[in-house]
Amino acid sequence: AQSVTQPDIHITVSEGASLELRCNYSYGATPYLFWYVQSPGQGLQLLLKYFSGDTLVQGIKGFEAEFKRSQSSFNLRKPSVHWSDAAEYFCAVGPPPSNAGNMLTFGGGTRLMVKP
Partner 1 sequence: DGGITQSPKYLFRKEGQNVTLSCEQNLNHDAMYWYRQDPGQGLRLIYYSQIVNDFQKGDIAEGYSVSREKKESFPLTVTSAQKNPTAFYLCASSGQSGGPQHFGDGTRLSIL
How far apart are alpha carbons 105 and 33 in whole angstroms? Answer: 10
**Taken in order 10, 14, 16, 19, is the CA torsion positive or negative?**
negative
Residue 41 lies near partner 1 (rule: CB under 8 A): yes
100 vs 116, beta carbon nearer partner 1: 100
Site map for partner 1, 75-104, x if CB under 8 A? ---------------x----xxxxxxxxxx
| 2, 19, 66, 106: residue in contact with partner 1 (rule CB under 8 A) | 106
Binding to partner 1 by CB under 8 A, coded x per residue (else -) over 4-33, reads -----x----------------------x-
CB of 38 to partner 1, least distance (A): 9
* Dihedral pair phi/psi, residue 108, rounded to 5°: -75, -10
Q: Which is nearer to partner 1, 9 or 113 (CB)?
A: 9
Give the distance, in angstroms, between the CA of residue 28 and the centroid of all CA atoms in the same chain.
19
Integer Cα distance of 19 and 12 in angstroms: 9
User: In the chain, what are the helix, strand and coil shares in percent, each to the nearest 5?
Assistant: 10, 50, 40
Binding site for partner 1 (CB under 8 A): 9, 32, 34, 36, 41-46, 49, 90, 95-104, 106-109
